[in-house]
Each structure stands twice: as structure tokens, then as C-alpha cells.
């Protein structure tokens, strides 16, 4: 009995000591899994996936994906620098790939490995806002990475299975278990490329942060609404699309985007990272200043002088 109580108390201490904050939204999150372990496990899973993936040979389409992805990655790096998270930049070795697959899907692994499926490009088509829609996809996935949702999900799963051996593993690093958690969380392995099955809260947070990154990179965040309308139509005509297989529904996403995007555009735009008439140096200064002044940094969703703030789940 005493041993059980001790283990429970130890677990509580570990959990309470491992809380951190998502800088862009101010949401508190649980992270008891080490950064190095999640990165190592993720890289291993990514390499295994890429060893069998059919990388697209369409040079034009690949160039489109890489151009947008590079701009989103640059926006993410500028933001992290602006909010004092420069140390996190060492964890990202960006890689951008277009994979031949008809699924409506994309993912970004911890560490910055971005994959877009050709099925997603086909859904977007050649609309005039094609790049903006693609930025919504990539911005969403990169947001999962910089918000450390994979690390949080792994932590939640480990807490859910807490026992003496798990507590010990959390403290010392449970590499074999982490490998399985990452494979499951990212849908890699037997179900290659499945969208991260994160919670409704994670998905809405990634949508919001994706809009911020897209805006900082000079794209129109409202294109995400068009994208989700297309996703909804695709799901209704041919079963639920992989990209929509988790909560929230497309309607919830669209409503949240419509609510939050006006504030995002006001606080982070226009074209802060890649303005057409500014030097690179001036661009970086503009971006970091804007990001620093609009960050929501409290443990709760807060109010800034410019707006009402983002509330997860609204």
C-alpha cells in the first residue's frame, strides 16, 4: 500500500514538474518525454517511412511544395527567435518532400521533416490561391512540430499507463516504448502517412498557429477556409478523407478560422516575413518585432492590447 502511494506521489511530482507553455497560444501542456528522445524516435520512423515511399518525380510540383515549405519554415524560425526560443532551432533539420500518394494528406515530424502527398496537391488544384491553400496545409503541420504536440501526446500516453515501471521509464528514458508511441502517434509503419491523430484541442491550436505562420510568410490565411471546404466536399462524396479522420469536424475548423483569422491578420500581417519591397534584414526585424509584441504568453488564453486572444476550443 505504501509503495503504491509512493509511486502515485512520484508520478504526480513528475507530471507537475514537467509542464510547459505553447508560446503562441499560452496553453499549458504536459511534457515528461525528453526532446532528444522524441527527436531520435521520430527520425528513425521518418527514415523507415522514406525508405519505401515513392518520392514524386514531378519537378514542377516538387518545387511548388518546397518553395511554400521553405517560407513557412523560415516564418517558424523567425517566430521562435522572436519569443526567446532560439535554443529550439537546433532541433530542426528541415527536409521537404512530395510523395506520390492519392491520400489527402501531409505531415511534419518533430525535427522538421515535411511530407506532402500528391493527392493533397490534386485536391487544391490550380486555383489562384493554390500556394495560400498549400501554406495552410504545411503551416498546420509545422505548427504541430513547433508546439511539440508529438511530445505532449507521448507524455499523455505514458501518464495514462503509469505504473512503477513506467514511472521509472519516464525518469530514465524509455526508448523502446517511445519508438512505439511515435510510430502510433504519426501513423507511420503499417499505416504510412496517416494524419496525426491529435486531440481536438491540438488540431484547433495547429489551425490557429498555421494561420499565424502563413500570415508571417506572406500568404492569405483565409485560404485555409477554402481548403477545409474542399476537404469537407471530398469526404462527403467518397467517405471520410484521411486528413479529416480526427476531431474537430471541418465545420468546427472553418468556424474557428473565420473567428480567429481577422485577429491573426491584424496582429501578424501583412506579409511580415516576405514583403515585396523590403530587404532581407528589414524583413527579419519586422517579423521578430511583430511576433514578439503579439505573443500570448500567460498560462491561460489572454487578452492583448490588440484583440481578445485565442481560446482553445472556442
- Catalogue the active-site residues: 141
* Contact between residue 123 and residue 233 where contact means Cβ atoms under 8 Å apart: no
Kindly give the residue spans of alpha helices, DSSP state H, lying in 147-242. 149-160, 164-172, 175-186, 200-216, 223-238
Exposed/middle/buried for residue 43 (C-beta within 10 Å: 0-12, 13-18, 19+) = middle
What does 187-208 look like in DSSP terms, one character per residue? T-SSSTTPPP---HHHHHHHHH
Q: Please, what sign has the CA dihedral across residues 237, 239, 243, 246?
A: positive
Exposed/middle/buried for residue 5 (C-beta within 10 Å: 0-12, 13-18, 19+) = exposed
CB crowding 104-114: b at 16 or more within 10 Å, else e: bbbbbbbbbbb
Strands 95-99 and 113-117: parallel
Residues with Cβ within 8 Å of residue 17, at least 6 apart in sequence: none
Helix (H) or strand (E) holding 260: helix 250-268
Cα distance between residue 14 and residue 2, in whole Å: 18
Amino acid at each position: 500500500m505504501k509503495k503504491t502511494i509512493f509511486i502515485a506521489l512520484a508520478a504526480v511530482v513528475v507530471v507537475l514538474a514537467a509542464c510547459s507553455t505553447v508560446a503562441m497560444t499560452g496553453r499549458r501542456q504536459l511534457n515528461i518525454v525528453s526532446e532528444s528522445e522524441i527527436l531520435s524516435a521520430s527520425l528513425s520512423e521518418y527514415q523507415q517511412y522514406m525508405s519505401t515511399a515513392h518520392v514524386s518525380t514531378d519537378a514542377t510540383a516538387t518545387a511548388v511544395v518546397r518553395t511554400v515549405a521553405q517560407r513557412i519554415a523560415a516564418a517558424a524560425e523567425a517566430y521562435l527567435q522572436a519569443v526567446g526560443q532560439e535554443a529550439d532551432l537546433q532541433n530542426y533539420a528541415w527536409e521537404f518532400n512530395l510523395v506520390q500518394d492519392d491520400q489527402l494528406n501531409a505531415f511534419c515530424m518533430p525535427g522538421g521533416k515535411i511530407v506532402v502527398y500528391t493527392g493533397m496537391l490534386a485536391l487544391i488544384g490550380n486555383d489562384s490561391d493554390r500556394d495560400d491553400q498549400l501554406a495552410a496545409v504545411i503551416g498546420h503541420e509545422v505548427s504541430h512540430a513547433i508546439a511539440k504536440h508529438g511530445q505532449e501526446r507521448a507524455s499523455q500516453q505514458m501518464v495514462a499507463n503509469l505504473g512503477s515501471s513506467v514511472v521509472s521509464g519516464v525518469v530514465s528514458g524509455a526508448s523502446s516504448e517511445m519508438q512505439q508511441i511515435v510510430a502510433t502517434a504519426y501513423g507511420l509503419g503499417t499505416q504510412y502517412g496517416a494524419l496525426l491523430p491529435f486531440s481536438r484541442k491540438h488540431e484547433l491550436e495547429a489551425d490557429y498557429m498555421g494561420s499565424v505562420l502563413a500570415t508571417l510568410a506572406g500568404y492569405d490565411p483565409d485560404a485555409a477556409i477554402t481548403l477545409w471546404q474542399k476537404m469537407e466536399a471530398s469526404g462527403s462524396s467518397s467517405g471520410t478523407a484521411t486528413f479529416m479522420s480526427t476531431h474537430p469536424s471541418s465545420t468546427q475548423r472553418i468556424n474557428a478560422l473565420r473567428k480567429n483569422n481577422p485577429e491573426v491578420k491584424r496582429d501578424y500581417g501583412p506579409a511580415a516575413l516576405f514583403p515585396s519591397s523590403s530587404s532581407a534584414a528589414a524583413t527579419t526585424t519586422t517579423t521578430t518585432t511583430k511576433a514578439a509584441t503579439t505573443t500570448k504568453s500567460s498560462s491561460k488564453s489572454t487578452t492583448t492590447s490588440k484583440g481578445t486572444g485565442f481560446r482553445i476550443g472556442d
